[in-house]
Amino acid sequence: PRVLCWLRRDLRLHDHAALHHALKSGLPVACVFIFDSTILDSLPADDVRLAFIHDSLLQVQEQLRQYGSELITAHGDPVQKIPELANRLNAKAVYANEDYEPAAMARDQTVSHTLSGQGMELKLFKDQVIFARDEILTQQRQPYTVFTPYKRNWLARIQSEDAQAYDCSQGEWAALPEQALPDLEELGFQEKSRAKLLSPAGWQGAQTLLEQFEPRIHAYHERRDFPAKRGVSYLAPHLRFGTLSIRQAVSLAWPSDSNGAATWLSELIWREFYQQFLWHHPETATESFKPAYKDLPFPNREDWFQVWKDGQTGYPIVDAAMRQLNQSGYMHNRLRMISASFLVKDLLIDWRWGEQYFAQKLLDYDMASNVGGWQWAASTGCDAQPYFRIFNPITQSRKFDPDGQFIRRYVPELASLDKQAIHAPWQAKQLPIEFRSGKDYPAPIVDHDTQRHLALALFKQAGEQE
Ligand code: FAD
C-alpha cells in the first residue's frame, strides 16, 4: 500500500504541508496531478497559465525522478480521476492542501465522499496561507471586514512556528515506472504559448525571483507604485500556483526590519484578508458586498467594454495597462486599480464584467484577490475605496508614470510624444507634426469629468434608496 499526495495549487516538493504529512505516514508516497477538464475545457488554447503549470510540473517530475519516483498525471474530472488513481495505486489515503475557493471546496467534498466509500480518506492541510478561514476573528468572533484591524491581529498572532518550513526530506517515495507528462498540444493547448511566459515558472523560477527581489525589498514602499520601475516582486503567479510557499515568502519580510519589508508583508496580509473574506462570504464572488450596491443600474455599453479590453480608450495609461495584460498576462497593481476604476466609474460598466476579463487573462488570477481588488475599486466591497473618491486617469498617469516611459513601452503610437503631452494628447498645446491625434491614436472615448458626475449620481442614488 501507498499514500497519494494530490498536487493542486502547490506545485513544489519542499515546504509542503500535505507532502510533509504524507511522508510521515510511514507508507511510500506517490505524487499525482490531474489536468482538470472541468476547468481546462473552458480556457482558450493560448492560455499562458497552462504553460506555467506544465513547466512547473516538469520541474516536479525531474525532482521526483531523482528520488526514484514519478509524477502520475491524468486528464479528466478529478472527482472521478482521484478515486480511480487511488484504487489503481493501492492507496490507503489521499493527502492534499486545502483550497478555499467555493468550487474547489465542493470538489473536495465530493472526492472525500467517494474515497470514504472505498475505505480511503482525503486528508486536507492548511498550506497556502498563514491563517485560514476563521482563525483570525474580531473580539466578537466575527470575520473582519476592515483590513487594518485584521492586519494588526494577524501581526499579533504570528509566531515563528507559523512561518517555519515543513520538512519534506524524511520518508519514503513510491518507486513507480516512468510516465511522460502529456504535452500541451495533447491537452488542447498551444506549445507556443510557453514563449509568452515573462519569467521562469516552477519552484526554480520562484527561487530566482525571490533572490532577485531580496535586495530590492527595502525600497519596495518607495518604488512599488511606478509601473516602469522594477519595484515589485512579480511573485504572484508563484503564490497562486504554490511554486513558492507562503512561509518562505513571509520569512523574507517578517519580522520586518525596514519600511519596505513591512509594506511588502502588508500585501501578503491583504492576500490572506481577501482569502478569509471569500471563505466567509462566498456569495461576493458574484455579488457586491455592500447591499446598497447590489443592483447598481450600470448602462453597461458593450462597445465601450470592447474598447476597454482592446486598450483603445484614448486614455494612454489605461490603454498601456490593458495592452500589458493582453500581451503578457500581467498587469502592475497601480494599473489594475486605475483600469478597474476607469471601467466602473468612467465607462459605467459592472465590475463583474471586468473581474471576468481579468480572470481570463491574468497569470496570477486568484478568485479571492481578484474579486477583492475589483470590489475595492468599484466601491462595492469590504473596506473599499469610497464611491466619491474617483481616480482621475490623467493625474494618476502623471504621478505614477511621470516620464511616460511605461506608456511608450505599450502604446508605441505615442512614442514620439513628450512627457507633458503623452498623458492626455488631446489636451497638449504642442504635438509632433507627424502625430495625427484621433487618427494615429484614438480620441478619448469619454470625458472624465462628465462621467465622474454620472458615476457619483449613480452611486449616490443607490445609496439613498437603501
Ligand atoms: P507584490 O507587490 O510584489 O506583492 C507581493 C504579493 O502580495 C503578491 O504576489 C500577491 O500575492 C500579494 N498581493 C499584493 N497586492 C495584493 C492585493 N491588493 N490584494 C491581494 N494580494 C495582494 N492579485 C492576485 O494575486 N491575483 C489576482 O487575480 C488579482 N487581481 C487583482 C485585481 C484588481 C482589480 C486589483 C486592484 C488587484 C488585484 N490583485 C490580484 C492584487 C495585486 O494587483 C497583485 O497581487 C500584484 O499586482 C501582483 O504583483 P506582484 O507579485 O509583483 O506583487
Domains annotated for the chain, with CATH where assigned, are 2-127 (3.40.50.620), 128-164+204-280 (1.25.40.80), 291-465 (1.10.579.10)
Find the DSSP H helices in 24-97.
Answer: 37-40, 48-66, 78-88
Q: Ligand 1 pocket, 441 CB below 6 A?
A: no
- How many whole angstroms from 438 Cα to the centroid of ligand 1? 34
For atom 2 of ligand 1, which residue has the closest CA?
232
Half-sphere exposure of 394 (CA within 13 A, CB side): 15
Q: What is the pLDDT of residue 437?
A: 86
Q: Ligand 1 pocket, 364 CB below 6 A?
A: yes
Strands (E), 98-161: 121-125
- How many whole angstroms from 321 Cα to the centroid of ligand 1? 15
Can you tell me the ipTM of this complex?
0.99
Closest C-alpha among 233, 230, 229, 309 to residue 271: 233
Provide the 8-state DSSP code for 345: I
Q: Ligand 1 pocket, 274 CB below 6 A?
A: yes
Closest ligand 1 atom number to CA of residue 339: 34
Half-sphere exposure of 235 (CA within 13 A, CB side): 30
- How many whole angstroms from 155 Cα to the centroid of ligand 1? 20
- How many whole angstroms from 361 Cα to the centroid of ligand 1? 14
- How many whole angstroms from 265 Cα to the centroid of ligand 1? 12
Q: Ligand 1 pocket, 252 CB below 6 A?
A: no
Closest C-alpha among 385, 99, 446 to residue 242: 99
> Is the distance from CB of 79 to CB of 114 less than 8 angstroms?
yes
Here the cell at position 193 is 504559448
Q: Ligand 1 pocket, 336 CB below 6 A?
A: yes
User: In tens digits, what is the pLDDT along the chain, a chain of 466 residues?
Assistant: 999 999 999 999 999 999 999 999 999 999 999 999 999 999 999 999 999 999 999 999 999 999 999 999 999 999 999 999 999 999 999 999 999 999 999 999 999 999 999 999 999 999 999 999 999 999 999 999 999 999 999 999 999 999 999 999 999 999 999 999 999 999 999 999 999 898 899 999 999 999 999 999 999 999 999 999 999 999 999 999 999 999 999 999 999 999 999 999 999 999 999 999 999 999 999 999 999 999 999 999 999 999 999 999 999 999 999 999 999 999 999 999 999 999 999 999 999 999 999 999 999 999 999 999 999 999 999 999 999 999 999 999 999 999 999 999 999 999 999 999 999 999 999 899 999 888 999 999 999 999 999 999 999 999 877 6
The best mutation among 357, 364, 382 to test binding of ligand 1, ranked by most ligand atoms within 8 Å of the C-beta, falls on 364
Residues 6+ apart with CB under 8 A from 155: 269
Task: Say whether pTM exceeds 0.80.
Answer: yes
Q: Ligand 1 pocket, 383 CB below 6 A?
A: no
Q: Ligand 1 pocket, 239 CB below 6 A?
A: yes
Q: Ligand 1 pocket, 374 CB below 6 A?
A: yes
Here the cell at position 197 is 511566459
Q: Which residues of 277-311 are buried (b: 16+ CB within 10 A; e: fewer)?
A: bbbbbbebbebbbbebbeebebeeeeebbebbbeb
Q: Ligand 1 pocket, 233 CB below 6 A?
A: yes
In sign, the C-alpha dihedral spanning 307, 308, 309, 315 is positive
Q: Element (H or E) spanning 149, and its range?
A: helix 147-157
How far does CA 84 lie from the centroid of its chain?
A: 31
CA dihedral (257, 258, 259, 261) in degrees, to 10, reads -70
Q: What is the pLDDT of residue 464?
A: 78
- How many whole angstroms from 267 Cα to the centroid of ligand 1? 7
Q: What is the pLDDT of residue 369?
A: 98
Q: What is the pLDDT of residue 199?
A: 84
Residue 381 CB-density burial (10 A; 0-12 exposed, 13-18 middle, 19+ buried): buried
